[in-house]
């Protein structure tokens, strides 16, 4: 019987790459997203082993309804890849928009734990399951303009640690995967479509979404008695010493 992964934020970036990777390996995937056109296109691309769930993770009732309505062939969920999230803005705190802060808190914190809550009790009841939370190196390293985004990823880091403590003895695994720079739509979203500001990858060799999908798949497929608590991963060109970046070699 095929294992079932639920991947949030599946319409782009790490989420999309992860869905494709897990399905290549024979998993069934429940993919969530808030952009109907992209979710429909992805479902057409990936076929019957992919089940789309259209909702915004910020909407608690929509999250609960979507997970409770899963057909039997896509339930129970063996793995949750809790990937949906975003950054908005790089302004210093005094110039940042409160609406941006609220959106990041509602998505990266509240939406994050809404999805965990939706699958957790069933995993505990079965005595198995795995939750992989996508954090960031920004959750443990501050930088100018990081303010609420970094704080939200620090929440992911600490919530995951405490969740693992709560789950001790249940057989349910918890992992945080905390990447540095990954080339995706992340910066385009952060700078609200300003392609010039978002062009931060052209002179470096960042991680790719496929790199991240490989890591997620590896972590998920370890023997059931193995729990990787935390993975921090950066491209070779990046270090946390001031978040320095090295240009591509000529």
Query: 58: domain CATH number?
Result: 3.40.50.720
Total count of domains within the chain = 1
Report the Cα 77 to chain-centroid distance in Å. 16
pLDDT at 1: 80
In a domain, 250, yes or no: no
In a domain, 221, yes or no: yes
pTM: 0.94
In a domain, 55, yes or no: yes
Report the Cα 21 to chain-centroid distance in Å. 15
pLDDT of 166-224, one tens digit each? 999 999 999 999 999 999 999 999 999 888 888 888 889 999 999 999 999 999 999 99
pLDDT of 93-137, one tens digit each? 999 999 999 999 999 999 999 999 999 999 999 999 999 999 999
In a domain, 211, yes or no: yes
DSSP-assigned letter for residue 108? I
Pairing of strands 4-7, 50-54: unpaired
pLDDT at 240: 76
Distance, CA of 46 to CA of 23 (rounded, Å): 8
Distance, CA of 136 to CA of 156 (rounded, Å): 9
CB atoms < 10 A from the CB of 94, how many?
6
In a domain, 182, yes or no: yes
In a domain, 112, yes or no: yes
Reference 52, options 29, 77, 76; nearest CA is: 29
pLDDT of 45-86, one tens digit each? 999 999 999 999 999 999 999 999 999 999 999 999 999 999
Find the catalytic residue in 51, 113, 114, 149: 149
Active site residue 149: yes
Q: Which 3 state secondary structure label does DSSP give 31?
A: strand
In a domain, 214, yes or no: yes
Question: In which domain, by residue range, is 186 found?
Answer: 4-245
Distance, CA of 185 to CA of 216 (rounded, Å): 19
Per the CB < 8 A criterion, the answer to whether 140 and 160 are in contact is: no
pLDDT of 14-49, one tens digit each? 999 999 999 999 999 999 999 999 999 999 999 999
In a domain, 67, yes or no: yes
Per the CB < 8 A criterion, the answer to whether 76 and 127 are in contact is: no
């Amino acid at each position: 019987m095929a294992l079932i992964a639920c991947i949030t934020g599946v319409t782009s970036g790490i989420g999309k790459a992860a869905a494709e990777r897990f399905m290549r390996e024979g998993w069934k995937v429940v993919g969530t997203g808030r952009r109907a056109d992209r979710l429909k296109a992805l479902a057409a691309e990936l076929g019957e082993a992919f089940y789309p769930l259209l909702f915004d993770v910020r909407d608690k009732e929509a999250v609960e309804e979507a997970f409770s309505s899963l057909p039997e062939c896509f339930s129970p969920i063996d793995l949750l890849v809790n990937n949906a999230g975003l950054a908005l803005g790089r302004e210093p705190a005094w110039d940042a928009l409160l609406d941006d802060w609220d959106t990041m808190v509602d998505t990266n914190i509240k939406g994050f734990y809404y999805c965990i809550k939706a699958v957790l009790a069933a995993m505990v009841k079965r005595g198995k399951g795995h939750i992989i939370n996508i954090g960031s190196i920004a959750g443990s390293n501050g930088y100018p303009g990081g303010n609420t985004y970094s704080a939200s990823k620090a929440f992911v880091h600490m919530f995951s640690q405490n969740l693992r403590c709560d789950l001790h003895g249940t057989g349910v695994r918890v992992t945080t995967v905390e990447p540095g720079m990954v080339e995706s739509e992340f910066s385009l979203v952060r700078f609200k479509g300003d392609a010039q500001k978002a062009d931060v990858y052209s002179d470096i060799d960042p991680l790719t979404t496929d790199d991240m999908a490989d890591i997620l798949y590896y972590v998920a497929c370890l023997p059931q008695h193995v729990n990787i608590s935390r993975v921090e991963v950066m491209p070779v060109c990046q270090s946390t010493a001031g978040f320095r970046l090295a240009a591509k070699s000529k």
